[in-house]
Amino acid sequence: MRDLNYQLKQLCRRNRDGSYATQAKRMNHLMLIADQLHGLGFRGMKPRSLKQKHVDALVKNWLHQELAAGTIKNRMAVLRWWAEKADRRGVVAGSNAYYGIPDRQFVTNISKAKAVGAQDLEMISDPYVRMSLELQRAFGLRREEAIKFTPTFAERGDHITLKASWTKGGKERDVPMRTSEQREVLKRSHRLAGNGSLIPSERNYVQQLRLYERQTANAGLSKLHGLRHAYAQDRYEALTGWKAPAAGGRVSRALSPGQRVMDRQARRVISRELGHIREQISSVYLGK
């Protein structure tokens, strides 16, 4: 393990702010950031080595990758935590706008749905990464949920249950089993994982996450959060009988009063299935 990775782990162990889930996510972010700094040519760093040039290089790299604004802002929050705990507060600007990081765009009628087909999956050599992608596509799972997925725990007959330790926010949730495709994907996940998860026994979560990132990048696959957008739009059409605004359907103001009731009900269902507390976030996936 590189010195910076090790010392950032020690920094986390000395400063246990937030819930266990928050601490784990912070640690994962810091390990990724440390690896990226190493990849950008910054070697021999320690936590107190953090400088403005390191922050600038990281942000430039994230913007070049076209990461979602929310993802970048989450990483900036972790960088500020690091700077605070290492007594380097002044090296990270207080405003994300200083770095040219765009605001989150919560409502859009431009579809961000992503399709991953058989040819795409054939380019992924690791069977566990490939299966995680299939689960993301079939059930609208987040990346972390699909990597930590344990079929023997999740399968509940007419739905799957996601363990709290897999999910953003640390809340268990259910996703219905509605299609033959979902059942087939789940069956194959059982065969691959056995009694375990989609992290093979010789790896831990961080190692599997890095393999996922490397293999999907090498296969030319990006913006895979779009698989959740595709799930949400398909689900909306199944629940209402018409396409979501982001998928080319009518905008909300063009719906009849009865259709608006169905629209609101569908959005509540989809928000729950995607693991969002606020119904309004459905507009990110479906348009308005």
CA distance 151 to 41: 40
Question: pLDDT digits over 197-227, tens only?
Answer: 999 999 999 899 999 999 999 999 988 999 9
Indicate if the pLDDT at residue 246 is higher than 90: yes
Out of 43-57, 179-193, 269-283, which region has the weakest mean confidence (pLDDT)?
269-283
Q: For 213-279, give the DSSP string.
A: HHHHHHTT---TTHHHHHHHHHHHHHHHSS--GGGT---GGGS-HHHHHHHHHHHHHHHHHHT-S-G
Percent of the chain with pLDDT over 70: 98
Indicate if the pLDDT at residue 279 is higher than 80: no
- What is the pLDDT confidence band of residue 33, given thresholds at 50, 70 and 90? very high
Question: pLDDT digits over 140-167, tens only?
Answer: 999 999 999 999 999 999 999 999 999 9
- Would you state the pLDDT for residue 64? 83
Contact 155, 175 (CB under 8 A): no
- What is the pLDDT confidence band of residue 130, given thresholds at 50, 70 and 90? very high
- 159-162 vs 173-176, strand pairing mode: antiparallel
- Would you state the pLDDT for residue 44? 92
Question: pLDDT digits over 175-193, tens only?
Answer: 999 999 999 999 999 999 9
Indicate if the pLDDT at residue 66 is higher than 80: no
- Would you state the pLDDT for residue 106? 57
Query: What residues does 175 pair with on adjacent strands?
Result: 160
Indicate if the pLDDT at residue 107 is higher than 60: no
- List the one residue out of 179, 169, 117 whose CA is nearest residue 145: 169
3-class DSSP assignment, residue 202: coil
Indicate if the pLDDT at residue 261 is higher than 80: yes
CB-based contacts of 168, cutoff 8 Å, min separation 6:
142, 144, 275
3-class DSSP assignment, residue 13: helix
Indicate if the pLDDT at residue 272 is higher than 90: yes
- Would you state the pLDDT for residue 105? 60
- Would you state the pLDDT for residue 226? 94
Mean pLDDT taken over the chain: 93
Residue 59 burial by CB count (10 A; 0-12/13-18/19+): exposed, middle or buried? Answer: buried
- What is the pLDDT confidence band of residue 196, given thresholds at 50, 70 and 90? very high
Q: Which two tokens stand for residue 180?
A: 């033959």
Out of 95-99, 236-240, 241-245, which region has the weakest mean confidence (pLDDT)?
95-99
- Would you state the pLDDT for residue 218? 92
Cα–Cα–Cα angle for 20, 22, 24, nearest 5°?
Answer: 70
What is the rounded average pLDDT of the residues 107-120? 85
What is the rounded average pLDDT of the residues 267-274? 95
Q: Which residue has the higher pLDDT, 163 or 281?
A: 163
Q: Which residue has the higher pLDDT, 277 or 246?
A: 246
